[in-house]
Chain A
Amino acid sequence: GQQVMQIPQYQHVQEGEDFTTYCNSSTTLSNIQWYKQRPGGHPVFLIQLVKSGEVKKQKRLTFQFGEAKKNSSLHITATQTTDVGTYFCAGPSGGGADGLTFGKGTHLIIQP
């Protein structure tokens, strides 16, 4: 079935440094979504990418969808303590189902 691999699993950064998490799929994706989960919280939808090579920005966050629509990345510029949490990518499960298959997430830890 659909597999979505995400690296790194953990990332420690100093406040103000940049951060990137990468997502790779075993199959071509029709779209990819990104979520953020704060410690003790629930996943919150950030963005969806649909087009090949698409780049979207949300303030300090930059999301990219690969040309082949099999990989994606999330880059955060100049991290702040509010960026702490786990970032998940997710792609359609396929087979006509409506569910999402989530990557295992990247835990971002920020040291002040």
Chain B
Amino acid sequence: DTAVSQTPKYLVTQMGNDKSIKCEQNLGHDTMYWYKQDSKKFLKIMFSYNNKELIINETVPNRFSPKSPDKAHLNLHINSLELGDSAVYFCASSGGHFYGYTFGSGTRLTVV
């Protein structure tokens, strides 16, 4: 059983398109996150959702919108994709402030 699963694993798309990445966790965690990892491996938090409420939004362009239909899912929708959006996007979940994160396997997004 995969604890945090993301789909798709790879996504190649043209500039200007709209795309979504799905994430599901079966750990019963209250908080889910989206992180972006660039080509230099820098991990930067994008969003955090706790019980379907957005907690943080780290100066991410409003072309990115998280959508959480329930506690176990946090999807990422991206409008009008740009070349600079190319990166690996990781979903993660946590059981609380003093618990480690469980990451999904990542989605490698390539915008051409």
Given A43-B90, A45-B102, A99-B56, A86–B97 Cβ distance below 8 Å?
A: no
Given A37-B41, A98-B31, A42–B94 Cβ distance below 8 Å?
A: no
| Minimum distance in angstroms from B100 CB to a CB of chain A | 3
Does B12 reach chain A (CB closer than 8 Å)? Answer: no
Prevailing SS type, chain B contact patch: strand
Give the CA-CA distance A112 to B45 in the complex, in Å. 35
Contact of B94 among A44, A98, A102, A105 (CB under 8 A): A98
Looking across the interface, which residue of chain B has its beta carbon closest to that of A50? B98
| Minimum distance in angstroms from B88 CB to a CB of chain A | 9
* Contact present for B103 and A92 (CB under 8 Å): no
For residue B94, which residues in chain A have a CB less than 8 angstroms away from its CB?
A: 98
Q: Size of chain A's interface in residues, with CB distance under 8 A?
A: 27
* Contact present for B33 and A99 (CB under 8 Å): yes
* Contact present for B45 and A48 (CB under 8 Å): no
For residue A88, which residues in chain B have a CB less than 8 angstroms away from its CB?
A: 43
Does A31 reach chain B (CB closer than 8 Å)? Answer: yes
Q: Which residues of A contact B (CB under 8 A)?
A: 30-31, 33, 35, 37, 41-48, 50, 86, 88, 92-93, 97-102, 104-105, 107
With A97-B48, A98-B31, A98-B50 given, name 17 new contacts (CB 8 A).
A33-B100, A35-B100, A35-B101, A42-B103, A42-B106, A44-B103, A47-B100, A48-B98, A50-B98, A93-B45, A98-B94, A98-B96, A98-B97, A99-B33, A100-B45, A100-B101, A105-B41
